[in-house]
Amino acid sequence: MPISRNASLDAIVIGSGLNGLSAAITLARAGRSVRVYEAEATIGGSARSLSLTRPGFTHDWGATVHALALASPFFKMLPLEKYGVHWVHAPLPFAHPLDDGSAAVVSRSIAETVESFCSRDARAYRSLIAPLVAQADDLMEALLAPIGCNHPLLMARFGIRAIQPLQRFVQRVFTSEAARALFAGAAAHSMLSLHQVATTGYALGLVISAHAYGWPVARGGTQQFTNALVAHLQSLGGEVIANTKINSLRELPDSRAVLCDVTPNELLRLSGDDMPRRYVRRVGAFRQGAGVFKMDWALNAPVPWRAAACMNAGTIHVGGSLTCIAQSENEVTEGRHPAQPFVLAVQASVYDATRAPNGQHTFWAYCHVPNGSMVNMQERMEQQIERFAPGFRDCVIASSVLTPQALERGNANLRGGDISGGAGDLRQIVARPVFARDPYATAMDGVYLCSSSTPPGVGVHGMCGFHAAQSALAKTLR
Ligand SMILES: Cc1cc2nc3c(=O)[nH]c(=O)nc-3n(C[C@H](O)[C@H](O)[C@H](O)COP(=O)(O)OP(=O)(O)OC[C@H]3O[C@@H](n4cnc5c(N)ncnc54)[C@H](O)[C@@H]3O)c2cc1C
């Protein structure tokens, strides 16, 4: 085995996603030597930017919207601005167009957000959201911790609502279609049926983050953020080696610890017979989530949303009413392909002009599909966008399709198109990838898991990598 107490290299990280880089930075900041191996040519995993359509257009291959990066206690510690990260905020974090031509919006201000609600819903929204926004830093610290035991009173206040299935929750709390749809769109980020427990937690977390931090993008593309992390790591003495797929832990040079920014399945492949059978059985029970079908477009104009408010938003939740979105997400959970899919869209170039030639735009969107789906969703997605932005297709100069298979080819962690590192239902929030006091330490001495398949899960916050590195520092790299 390559794990050796006497190795001159302290740690190897497999995978340069933001959790892998965060793990490496945490170790380097603690004075440990660290090397990162990445299979792909470009560093960053789901946080890369590529020219997917035409020269001059910068598309984020995966993540664009960085509410969680601003909320992350780990990223707050890093000198990101020094390495060129510049956050750009849209006037509105997100908008939700409706069939009558109006849109529900979330602005940074709670007062502005409730302006279009009826007075009962405005009151309900304020009393639900305002107290949690006031304690957003503490709440995010608790939600992004391995086991949410920090701030127990606050977590109890959040949890009593968060645990509820979204559909039932909004039907009880709100009367208007606009408020219900707004929460349904946010909850659908979970990639779960809105009847499932804990889906309200996703909506609350995202709405609170929108008010407290905004939903910014990194100027010039998410790659700028990734490159800043790499530059910081290198300044601390860390190394990053691209184009090197690791096929077995046994092929690695000797080190005292190995941290794996990979899926649990890939961890078992890499460790082979060296992993104790009991752990193999437990990790083998971890389930992938639904997949996504993603499209990127180069446009000759901004998307012509019928609701003017959508022009000011960074993210647009396209799908209409609570009923429509709930139906779409149910169908995916049941293994079907919705005729009218919920489409999650991002228009970063509207407020970050560096991403496209003058006057032109980038735009991306994905819809949820059953894991491993082979169905082409392009027509259905474009029809959904046309439903709220008639004339959208006339703006398209070029497009790119990333099927679940193409996503997995570009990043082995996206198994079957699952962008969450494993289903994010309540069971797998608690047991990620196994139920354990330290879910980062595997059953092999010195080998750790640090990807989004560990707590706190999906999103660009680096906290999986940070916590895994803390575990390695405490147990192996003392
Ligand atoms: C289309 C899409 C849109 C998203 N949008 C957002 C968003 O707007 N906001 C947000 O917060 N989150 C978003 N996410 C989720 C977010 O990007 C991820 O949760 C996060 O980046 C995961 O980071 P990670 O380090 O765990 O893994 P990844 O980013 O998946 O990185 C894993 C890395 O490991 C490498 N690797 C795997 N196996 C090996 C091996 N054997 N040898 C060497 N290297 C290996 C892979 O090539 C990859 O580079 C999005 C994801 C996708 C795909």
Asked if residue 191 has its Cβ within 6 Å of ligand 1, the reply is no
On whether residue 239 sits in a domain, the answer given is: no
Distance (angstroms) between ligand 1 centre and the Cα of 62 equals 7
Asked if residue 16 has its Cβ within 6 Å of ligand 1, the reply is yes
Asked if residue 242 has its Cβ within 6 Å of ligand 1, the reply is no
Q: Is 274 exposed, middle or buried (0-12, 13-18, 19+ CB in 10 A)?
A: middle
Distance (angstroms) between ligand 1 centre and the Cα of 43 equals 10
Distance (angstroms) between ligand 1 centre and the Cα of 253 equals 25
Ligand 1: residue whose CA is nearest its atom 45: 15
Asked if residue 47 has its Cβ within 6 Å of ligand 1, the reply is yes
On whether residue 55 sits in a domain, the answer given is: no
On whether residue 307 sits in a domain, the answer given is: yes
What residue has token string 């999986």?
Answer: 464
Ligand 1: residue whose CA is nearest its atom 34: 15
On whether residue 45 sits in a domain, the answer given is: no
Asked if residue 271 has its Cβ within 6 Å of ligand 1, the reply is no
Ligand 1: residue whose CA is nearest its atom 2: 62
Q: What is the pLDDT of residue 267?
A: 98
Distance (angstroms) between ligand 1 centre and the Cα of 452 equals 8
Alpha-carbon gap, residue 102 to 251, rounded angstroms: 58
Q: State whether 278 and 188 are in the same domain.
A: no
On whether residue 443 sits in a domain, the answer given is: yes
Give strand ranges (E) for 124-256: 217-218, 239-241
Q: State whether 294 and 158 are in the same domain.
A: yes
Alpha-carbon gap, residue 34 to 258, rounded angstroms: 10
Asked if residue 63 has its Cβ within 6 Å of ligand 1, the reply is yes
- The pick from 261, 263, 347 for probing ligand 1's pocket by mutation, whose C-beta has the most ligand atoms within 8 angstroms, reads 261
On whether residue 71 sits in a domain, the answer given is: no
Which two three-digit tokens encode residue 123? 């009151």
Q: State whether 278 and 392 are in the same domain.
A: no
82-99 b/e with 16+ CB inside 10 Å = b?
Answer: ebebbbbbbebbbbbbbe
Q: State whether 275 and 297 are in the same domain.
A: no
Alpha-carbon gap, residue 271 to 273, rounded angstroms: 6
Q: Name the helix (H) or strand (E) containing 315.
A: strand 313-318
- The pick from 25, 35, 46, 48 for probing ligand 1's pocket by mutation, whose C-beta has the most ligand atoms within 8 angstroms, reads 46
Q: What is the pLDDT of residue 149?
A: 67
Q: State whether 22 and 148 are in the same domain.
A: no
Asked if residue 452 has its Cβ within 6 Å of ligand 1, the reply is yes
Asked if residue 345 has its Cβ within 6 Å of ligand 1, the reply is no
Q: List residues bridging with 446 in a β-sheet.
A: none
Ligand 1 atom nearest to 410, measured from its CA: 47
Q: State whether 319 and 406 are in the same domain.
A: yes
Ligand 1: residue whose CA is nearest its atom 12: 459
Q: Of 287, 436, 301, which Cα lies nearest the Cα of 361? A: 301
Ligand 1: residue whose CA is nearest its atom 11: 459
Which two three-digit tokens encode residue 382? 């474009």
On whether residue 104 sits in a domain, the answer given is: yes
Q: Is the pTM here over 0.85, yes or no? A: yes
On whether residue 352 sits in a domain, the answer given is: yes
Q: State whether 100 and 179 are in the same domain.
A: yes
Distance (angstroms) between ligand 1 centre and the Cα of 130 equals 32
Ligand 1: residue whose CA is nearest its atom 4: 63
Q: State whether 322 and 254 are in the same domain.
A: no
Q: Give the per-residue SS3 of 222-266.
A: HHHHHHHHHHHHHHCCCEEECCCCCCCHHHCCCECEEEECCCHHH
> Where in the sequence is the domain holding 22, given as residue range(s)?
11-39+244-285+421-475
Domain boundary among 410, 431, 457: 410
Q: State whether 298 and 275 are in the same domain.
A: no
Q: Tell me, what CATH number does 139's domain have?
A: 3.90.660.50
The sign one gets for the Cα dihedral 175, 177, 179, 185 is positive
10-residue mean pLDDT series, the chain (478 residues): 83 98 98 98 98 97 97 97 97 98 97 95 98 97 84 93 98 97 98 98 98 98 98 98 98 98 97 97 96 98 98 98 98 98 98 97 98 98 98 98 98 98 96 96 98 98 98 97
Q: State whether 155 and 294 are in the same domain.
A: yes
Compute CA distances 207 → 128, 130, 241, 384, whole Å.
11, 11, 38, 23
Ligand 1 atom nearest to 414, measured from its CA: 30
Q: What is the pLDDT of residue 146?
A: 87
Alpha-carbon gap, residue 78 to 89, rounded angstroms: 20
Tally of domains in the chain: 2
Q: What is the pLDDT of residue 1?
A: 62
Distance (angstroms) between ligand 1 centre and the Cα of 109 equals 31
Ligand 1: residue whose CA is nearest its atom 32: 17
Asked if residue 460 has its Cβ within 6 Å of ligand 1, the reply is yes
Q: State whether 344 and 255 are in the same domain.
A: no
Distance (angstroms) between ligand 1 centre and the Cα of 17 equals 5
Q: Of 48, 76, 43, which Cα lies nearest the Cα of 60? A: 48
Asked if 200 contacts 169 with a C-beta cutoff of 8 angstroms, the reply is yes
Q: State whether 183 and 92 are in the same domain.
A: yes
Asked if residue 459 has its Cβ within 6 Å of ligand 1, the reply is yes
What residue has token string 């809105």?
Answer: 194
Q: What is the pLDDT of residue 148?
A: 58
Domain boundary among 410, 437, 463: 410
Q: Tell me, what CATH number does 21's domain have?
A: 3.50.50.60
Q: Residues for the chain: how many in total? A: 478
Compute CA distances 417 → 43, 60, 283, 424, whole Å.
19, 16, 20, 14
Give the count of beta carbons closer than 10 Å to the beta carbon of residue 42: 17
